[in-house]
Amino acid sequence: MRKALIFICLLNLCFVLCMVSSCSAPQSYSVYPLITNTEGVATPGKPAPNFSWIGSDNIKHNLTDFAGKPVVIATWDTGCTFCLNVMLPYFKTNYQKYTDQGAVILTINDKDSYKMFADFVKDKDYPFLLLKDENKPEFKFRSPYLIKFGNPWIVLIDKKGILVDIKGIFTDPSAKYTEDDLRKIIDNFVGTQNGAQEN
């Protein structure tokens, strides 16, 4: 009788732990993966710090998986008008062009709550990889990459995994950036990686 009671108690405990676990880690995390860690600190001209996330396939992925391809990373949030009205639509429209040129486009939302982020992107059908950086004092991506507050930032990593540049689109408050400015940044970088500078 006592063994049966202990067994029932353990069964109940397992049920409670499973319920708590499912509440704290919603399934949507596997749909829009969180960056789990970054190794090192960013220095232009040096290898870009690797960072990791768990994909919807429940497998750990890394920045280094894209070795041999130029990588463009853009940070954004739902409070950034340029991000929503210019940058994300531009990447959606031109995703296939850059993919055909061998480039990888990654986007990282790093200021919204997970729910705000997921609610915003769920119906957008973006073809590029959407990652979420935790909005905490120690960001998993923003802090190691020394990205200052505000969005968007564009991170350029060459085929050899070297960090080429980190561009703050609005670091100059008097500048009025347009889609054409964004196109020049990305086209020049990808063109250089493919041996032909775009103008």
Residue 83: DSSP 8-state: I
Please give the pLDDT value at position 66: 97
129 in Cβ contact with 109 (< 8 Å): no
CA distance 186 to 143: 23
Task: Give pLDDT tens digits for 78-126.
Answer: 999 999 999 999 999 999 999 999 999 999 999 999 899 999 999 899 9
Q: Which two tokens stand for residue 70?
A: 């130029």
Count CB neighbours of 126 within 10 A: 14
HSE-CB of 187 using CA atoms within 13 angstroms: 11
Residue 143: DSSP 8-state: T
Task: Give pLDDT tens digits for 146-175.
Answer: 998 888 999 999 999 999 999 887 766 566
Domains defined for the chain, CATH in brackets: 27-193 (3.40.30.10)
CA distance 82 to 86: 5
CA distance 118 to 47: 31
Predicted model pTM = 0.81
